Amino acid sequence: MEDLDFTRPARSEIYDPAIARTCFEALGKPESIAQGVPFFTENQTSETMYLLVEGEVSLSRGKKVIDIVKAGEIFGEMAAITGQPRSATAVARNACRVISLDGKQFVQAIQKAPEFVLMLMGIMINRLRLTDAMLGMTRSLPDWAGNSESRVFDKKMTDEVVAAFRSRPPQRYPSSRVIMKEGDSGVFMYLVLQGRVAISIQSHIVEKVGSGGLFGEMALIDESARAATATAETDCVLLSINRNDFLTLVRTKPGFAVSLLKAIAERLRFMTSHRT
């Protein structure tokens, strides 16, 4: 199974080290780390992510080195976003200079550099699209049966998003109504206010989204075709959000951006766990 913490953003064509540095320098803490000193260890829970300014960092699982981080790259971001334990150990291969961001600093920093969170979302969505395609080709798509409904926002954040668009009435969809289709272009993403929506890929249900959940954001962020079909499993009330609305929310409500990043990361982790 591919380890999400080490499918690094720097390997994506849309990774821009200048954007990353702007975000980290906004509120991050410069640190000097001596050769051989660990940044974090396998199974440790910590919320710090790093931008490597100078030096090299080895990433290892058990006693096996699985990757090398070089200057200009970030590492530790996935575990920091999801709150999951570290799946490897990061150690300075030589004297290193880094800028670190903890969870609170990250929330504050993305207000100063919203492009960074958009870049991270785009990178994770690229990974998710690739994973979906591979699972589809190998007929290994996960079965959502027995899993709980997916939710992104708590009631407070849901109410804040609804309040931001008071002039736009939510839309009602009857049970069994197809809301969006796999392969279509995407103009809106949808916040579920009431009801439950089934998300399917190649007619295989991979997720069920309940109140406070969000779907359709992938096509909105990367402006590509829909990766899945969404069907109202019960009578639903949905708030539609277009790309301009979405960008405004990212810039003005850091809690919205962080919650969405975490949801995309967890969805990626769930889908990747089914790769063989």
**Which residue in this structure is represented by tokens 């089934």?**
198
221 in Cβ contact with 203 (< 8 Å): no
Rounded Cα gap, residues 122 and 125, in angstroms? 5
Q: Flag whether pLDDT at 179 surpasses 90.
A: yes
Phi, psi of 4, rounded to the nearest 5 degrees = -65, -35
274 in Cβ contact with 4 (< 8 Å): no
Total Cβ atoms within 10 A of residue 189:
23
Banded model confidence at residue 212, pLDDT cuts 50, 70, 90: very high
215 in Cβ contact with 199 (< 8 Å): yes
Measuring CA to CA, how many Å separate 260 from each of 179, 249, 254, 257, 264?
21, 11, 10, 5, 6
Q: Which structural domains are found in the chain, ordered by start?
A: 4-111 (2.60.120.10), 140-272 (2.60.120.10)
pLDDT value of position 145: 62
Average pLDDT rounded to a whole number, residues 120-148: 74
What value does the CA radius of gyration of the chain take, rounded to a whole number of Å? Answer: 19
38: enclosing H helix or E strand? strand 38-40
Q: Which amino acid is at 51?
A: L
40 token code pair: 């974090």
Residue 88 burial (10 A CB sphere; 0-12, 13-18, 19+): buried
50 has which bridge partners? 75, 100
Q: Which amino acid is at 211?
A: S
Rounded Cα gap, residues 221 and 223, in angstroms? 6
Rounded Cα gap, residues 239 and 128, in angstroms? 24
Total Cβ atoms within 10 A of residue 210:
17
Q: What is the pTM of this model?
A: 0.76
Number of H helices, E strands in the chain: 8, 16
pLDDT tens digits along 181-194: 999 988 899 999 99
pLDDT value of position 3: 45
pLDDT tens digits along 229-272: 999 999 999 999 998 888 888 888 888 888 888 888 877 777 66
The HSE-up count of residue 35 (CA atoms within 13 Å, CB side) is 3
pLDDT value of position 275: 54
Measuring CA to CA, how many Å separate 93 from each of 53, 59, 134, 227?
14, 10, 34, 40
Residue 63 burial (10 A CB sphere; 0-12, 13-18, 19+): exposed
Q: Give me the chain's average pLDDT, please.
A: 86
Measuring CA to CA, how many Å separate 274 from each of 134, 144, 270?
10, 12, 7
Better-scored residue on pLDDT, 79 or 211? 211
90 has which bridge partners? 40, 59
pLDDT value of position 204: 86
